[in-house]
Chains A and B, each alone.
Chain A
Amino acid sequence: MKNLKYKILAFTLLFSVVLIAQQTPAPKQTTAISIEGATAHLGNGNVIKNSLIMFNNGKITFVGSAMMKIARQGNVIQAQGKHIYPGFIAPNSTLGLVEVDAVRASDDMDEVGAMNPHIRSLIAYNTESKVVESMRPNGVLLGQITPRGGRISGTSSVVHFDAWNWEDAAIKEDDGIHLNWPNAFSRGRWWLGEPTMLKENKDYKNEVEELTTYFLNNKAYQASNKSPKHLPFEALQGLIDGSKKLYIHVDAERGITDAINFAKANNIKHVVIVGGYEAHKVTSLLKENNIPVLLQRVHSRPKNDDDDYDLPFKLANELVNAGILVGLENSGDMERMNARNLPFLAGTCAAYGLDKEQALSLITYNTAKILGIEDKVGSLEVGKDATLFISEGDALDMRTNKLEKAYIQGRDISLESHQTDLYKRYSNKYKN
């Protein structure tokens, strides 16, 4: 299934991958909408039972109780017994950069080279992706599209999932740069007959040194007259002036510690740890430096046989209790198609210790804050984008996550997809 050795693909296949335009993006909101009677999960930890949510021109205009004697604007949706949520956000995602894992021609996520801060994911983001549209029926409406590979993979952007083109999709262009921190372990080179076990990476120090030198050179460049222009360093400027965040992908305790010290030494204003399997071991350091964590895929196995079987399930709880700002990410095997399961990652965090509303924040408000888009999305608050949905039941549980309506910037988006089309087509086939 997964992990295929995608080395080649017959050329005929390349030409047969025809990406047909999928669901048509919804038109601009022209009429106000009021949703009445639902339980509103605001995303910031608060809940309003029997709520009234109103939005117009793409923005939320009212969030409160349905008991309030206030005029309902525009079309009124009665949603008693249902639940409203802000759109879920999938950070550190490659959605739209690859369509089918095994089809190389559809793969645009990993550029050649080690230091690629200038590489921008946004322009390759495919708004027509069939995988992207399959996110929406589960409430995943936004994503941070992130390149992969190398030491510095490139620059990500945040998009919403209902657009004609990448320009329209952008919520925040070039929000941050992604750095893969050197690993303290390296694998034996089997082709030299070395055992393939992981062992201490003797080059770790050198690899960190290389990064340090790179950033020192960047500093020198920024102080110069910048002629001739150095494209990668130009891209790094945002890290120094604070307009971009540095996402450091790192799991191990030592790596996290070294990465934070590195960021401090290089005056990088905003740092986010991505992965953080061992972040619970360095909570005071994270807290002291006010560094948030985009926590690795919750639905994974422990990395060590001796670990608690539920360690990946309860990590978020441990970090939140230690006062860390936590969001959930889902990178790994088959990450794109799996991104629609993001709500259930949060659900598992609730099953393993967190309050349900806190768990919801892990994929809404917290993530928005971490990505620096909390002024627009991430919670149901007046003035923010009306990017939200109505579910029949608890959206963090697959048993009850059933969307009836979803809006992106107030636009009534389609919940259909390539998959629902096929479902209907074949269900009808057997009816006749």
Chain B
Amino acid sequence: MIKNYLLFIFTVCFLSLSAQENIPKNDGVKTLNTNYTVLTNAKIYVSPTQVIEKGTLVIKDGKIVSVGNGVSIPKNAVITDLSGKSIYPSFIDLYSTFGVEKPKGPDNNSRRPQYDATREGYYWNDHIRAEQNAIDLFKYDTAEAKKLLQAGFGVVNTHIDDGIIRGTGTLIALNSNGTNANRILKEQSAQYLGTQKSKTSKQAYPTSIMGAFALLRQVYMDAKWYDTGAAKETDRTLEAFNRNKNQVQIIEAGSKMNALRLDNIGDQFNTQYVFVGGGDEYEYVKEIKATNGTFILPINFPDAYDMENPFLAQSVELSDLREWNQKPYNLKILADNNVPFALSTYKLKEAKEFMPNLLKAIEAGLSKEKALAALTTIPAKIIGKSNEIGTLKTGAYANFLVTSGDIFDKKTTIYQNWVTGVKNELKTIDTKDIRGKYTFNLKNTDYELTIKGELEKLKSEVKTNDKKLGSKISFNDDWLNLTFSTTDTTKQEFIRLVANIKDTSVLNGKAIFPNGNDTVFVATKKTDSKSQDKKEKEDDKNDNEPKVDKFYPVTYPNMAYGFENLPKQETLLFKNVTVWTNEEEGILKNTDVLIKDGKISKIGQNLNISNAKIIDGKGKHLTAGIIDEHTHIATSSVNEAGHNSTAEVTQEDVINPEDINIYYNLSGGVTSAQVLHGSANPIGGRSAIIKMKWGETANNLIYKNSPKFIKFALGENVKQSNWGSNNTVRFPQTRMGVEQVYTDYFQRAKEYDAKKKSGQPYRKDVEMEVIAEILNKERFISCHSYVQSEINMLMKVAEKFNFNINTFTHILEGYKVADKMKAHGVGGSTFSDWWAYKYEVNDAIPTNAAIMHNAGVTVAINSDDGEMSRRLNQEAAKSVKYGDISEEDAWKFVTLNPAKLLHIDDRVGSIKVGKDADVVLWSDHPLSIYAKAEKTIIEGVTYFDIDRDKQLREAIKKEKNELTNLMLQAKNKGLKTKPIEKKEKEHFHCDTNF
């Protein structure tokens, strides 16, 4: 024990001495090792593209002195011959938490929401932690290092995985024998960012990813302002953020969608992020490429689901089945599209899963060269250390692996992992292969010994006269120990053999008998079982290892009902159809409509266009596409509930184009919608106005030159009436307070805007900018509203600040103040017949739309509900039933009127020459419950077609069956499977709190 300890001390001293001079020494005389370490005759991968056969590597003081074929070897060199072996630069993981303990949550267990920051002297939001440095928490973790070394890693950039801005990382060499003096390659290396809040604080804001994005933007602006020296208070976070600006910025996106969203933010602030991805980037590879970002990617692939129970199996969706099939191809597809990427172990349970998964990706087509680059040169480039790590060129750290051969081959063994010139032996490099069949004689008894199994784990079989004897073998450092039982099984006695092996054709040693006597023994090899054994092993492997199955094509979106190829704009001619123009012409029977270049081109009789696709409209109805003034589909996040005003957040940041509800909306004739923020606060977030372009990316769904909208809300939701007894502290808790919130924010925005316009320096504040846009009549309010008192109040507040409310949405008591609404000039977008779900909707009536309409208010019927939105034509019909509205006017409630309220009626909402060709072909009278949308067309592109839908159903069934079979096969092959889980559908509406 003491001996080992001394040895350890010695090693440490020796190493430190080799690096540092002039330090006091009181435990002996000073020694200096100035020798070289030289490795010869190895295949050396200097870089993924530069390979030296039979090369020499010269190392001193932890760095590479020279590398090549004709390298001169200094006299004072310790030389190791590595004939037949390969040397690779060791791997680098840039997204690591190595040696950094997970931050803990706060002690306070209060369920009351916390709105203020916990810290003093730092940023106003606890989740922005640019001042953190991983080095301050860093504690070298030898056990974890061992696992990483075994997986081939030599350097990691570790960081504090906590918060939206997480501060700097630290570049660490995994030198377990040295001290931090040898390990820290760079103290502050990269700034890390993410989208999740800090675990250390319960500060409520942001409650949503949309809020996290807004907060991130505000930090950039605040940092810039702080940098001018104009801030009155010290903010150590912003100081650090400004310091860290020149570091590489590594941001955890976690998915393709977030990478695209964050790239928009980066572009805004001239920052090119390095994205930590999610492994699904292949689904949008073109857009991913367009970010110009480098990716750090996980290499965890989903296990197959256990599909044996058909009842459970049927709940697994096509997208999940495909993910299993497609994810191993992610790296190949990215490489094919020249997206640069590094690899990380961060989503793996254990580092040892890394190589098998990488081999799977290589089997799926990733080139070995790209794989090696992703582990060496690319991460080195990202972190700005291309000359020092990830390479074996002169001057670089001596970080490398010694392997038995091609590192991306299943059979290859990594013998050694050298870090900064220090060797870590993982497996004995020159283990003798003693496998085979031997015979020997002891005390006139003939024995037959078979040694087999893997080199690292040998198995033995001892027989005498065809009788098998129990035996156990071990073989370490050329010493063989074999114990086997005597033939007399009643006695439980053993004979032990011990031999030092020099020559594998003969085992020469000593046998010790149960009585303690010993004798010399000689076992002679009869056959070499090595070759045969290996073959068996390979066969085994071939059966067990996953064969990468056929690649199932990605669709847009990559789920059921996605398009294999996006549909194209067409020239379409509808013949003899009943056209609901929504214009002065009214309803035209037996009319032709030509759609060309995405626009309504002609309306008339007997139109004949040579190259148009003819659609027979006999007995059918053609209308403008339905527009939903109020929806929460196609979004990843609805409410930012962390503040009472969140004008800084925007739905445009979080549009989710992969929501099946988009397809459902199309099947109900909906072509446009306003995706609104929820109603958690008096001043909500900004809207996204979208078209239901199923298969397109989020940016393509959003209207170009979109009118600017923001959600406001009144009543029970904003005063948190139904949020539970813990939520009684946020201002406002009454309708009285709501008025003051508005007055306060409008007044502040007015003052802000005045200061801005005066040319004085000012702190740019997105929230104030947005509210000032309202005052400047550049942004419109759509306000969630129920009872007349508050409706009237908001109009009065707006009038005081000299602008108008654009739309009251829901507006269930609009009928009580319809005259005032008309006078103010506000529109009403209401439910057809909802009521009685809250106290404040006791007086909601299904004739509300009719009364408002009759009073001259522009009226729309909205859904706020993913189910109802696909039946909005029927909801419009209820105004005919309850309020005796004419059918033409009722139809406008879900088409032209919402277009007017959204200020897009110059583009959509009616069938008029020159407008966007957003139309629906109905099987029947469009207000009738018996009508089905047969084709839903946006800008001349048929996004929904009832016949194509039928074909897709068949295709989905077929593909699901095939993939299910493949999963069953996977289980039969003995591959790991996971139990079935069912994603729960999130059906968003105003009150969804995230």
Contact = CB atoms under 8 A, between A and B. Distances in A.
A198 B982 CA distance: 5
Interface in A329-369: 334, 336-337, 340-341, 344, 347-348, 350-351
B928 A305 contact: no
Interface string A162-206: 000000000000000000000011010000000111111000000
A299 B851 contact: no
Given A348-B929, A426-B815, A306 B960 contact: yes
Given A7-B724, A198-B982, A351 B931 contact: yes
B984 A103 contact: no
Given A101-B837, A309-B667, A430 B842 contact: no
A13 B839 contact: yes
Contacts of A398: 874, 877-878, 880-881, 929
Contacts of B991: 1-5
Contacts of B989: 1-3
A432 to B, nearest CB: 11
Interface residues of B, number: 76
- Residue of A99, A184, A299, A399 with most partner-chain B CB within 10 A: A399
A269 interface: no
Contacts of A348: 929
Contacts of B990: 1
Contacts of A130: 836, 842
A207 interface: no
A301 B929 CA distance: 17
Nearest to B949: A309
A422 interface: yes
Contacts of B724: 5, 7-8
B559 A5 contact: no
Interface in B818-873: 818-819, 833-839, 841-843, 845-847, 851, 854-855, 864-868, 871
Interface string A244-257: 00000000111000
A102 interface: yes
Given A199-B982, A299-B867, A301-B664, A100 B838 contact: yes
Contacts of A227: none
B833 A351 contact: no
Contacts of B864: 1
Interface string B287-317: 0000000000000000000000101101101
A85 B984 CA distance: 40
A93 to B, nearest CB: 14
- Residue of A306, A347, A422 with most partner-chain B CB within 10 A: A306
Contact of B981 (A7, A199, A396, A426): A199
B818 A430 contact: yes
B25 interface: no
A103 B839 contact: yes
A423 interface: yes
B789 interface: no
Given A185-B315, A334-B837, A337-B836, A399 B881 contact: yes
A423 B837 contact: no
A332 to B, nearest CB: 10
Contacts of B5: none
Main secondary structure of the interface of B (DSSP, over half): loop
B679 to A, nearest CB: 9
A376 interface: no
Interface in A81-110: 99-103
A280 interface: no
A70 B740 CA distance: 73
A310 interface: yes
Contacts of B818: 426, 430
A306 B318 contact: yes
B936 to A, nearest CB: 12
A151 interface: no
A420 B325 CA distance: 58
Nearest to B667: A309
Contact of B837 (A13, A100, A200, A347): A100
Interface string A414-432: 0000011011001100100
A197 B846 contact: no
Interface stretch (B147-155, B381-389, B715-723): B715-723
Interface in B945-994: 949, 953, 956, 960, 979-985, 987, 989-991
B846 A419 contact: yes
A28 interface: no
Contacts of B980: 199-200
A252 B309 CA distance: 13
B932 interface: yes
Interface in A300-314: 300-301, 303-306, 308-310
Contacts of A309: 561, 663-664, 667, 949
A21 to B, nearest CB: 15
Contacts of B877: 397-399
A303 B317 CA distance: 10
Interface residues of A, number: 65
B816 interface: yes
Nearest to B866: A301
Interface string A379-403: 0000000000000000011111110
A350 B834 CA distance: 24
B702 to A, nearest CB: 23
Nearest to A306: B560
Nearest to B883: A423
B927 interface: yes
A305 B721 contact: no
A222 B836 CA distance: 43
- Residue of B864, B871, B982 with most partner-chain A CB within 10 A: B982
A309 B694 CA distance: 14
Given A2-B989, A196-B984, A305-B319, A422 B843 contact: yes
B925 interface: yes
Interface in A41-66: none
B851 A426 contact: yes
A251 to B, nearest CB: 12
A13 B981 CA distance: 42
A7 B723 contact: yes
Given A200-B980, A398-B874, A419-B846, A102 B716 contact: yes
B837 A351 contact: no
B109 to A, nearest CB: 13
Contacts of B815: 422-423, 426
A254 B983 contact: no
Nearest to B890: A399
B865 A197 contact: no
A423 B847 contact: yes
Nearest to B664: A309
A285 interface: no
Contacts of A15: none
Contacts of A220: none
A50 to B, nearest CB: 24
B862 to A, nearest CB: 11
Interface in A13-28: 13, 17
Given A7-B723, A187-B984, A344 B874 contact: yes
Contacts of B315: 185, 198, 304
Contacts of B842: 100, 130
Given A254-B311, A337-B836, A426-B818, 13 more contacts: A8-B725, A100-B838, A199-B981, A253-B314, A299-B867, A306-B317, A336-B836, A398-B881, A399-B880, A399-B887, A420-B845, A422-B843, A427-B847
- What are the nearest 9 A-B pairs in CB distance? A7-B724, A347-B929, A198-B982, A197-B981, A306-B560, A254-B311, A102-B838, A419-B845, A423-B847
Interface of A: 1-10, 13, 17, 99-103, 130-131, 184-185, 187, 195-200, 252-254, 299-301, 303-306, 308-310, 334, 336-337, 340-341, 344, 347-348, 350-351, 396-402, 419-420, 422-423, 426-427, 430
13 contacts: A5-B723, A7-B724, A197-B981, A200-B312, A301-B866, A334-B836, A351-B929, A396-B929, A397-B930, A398-B929, A399-B877, A422-B815, A423-B851
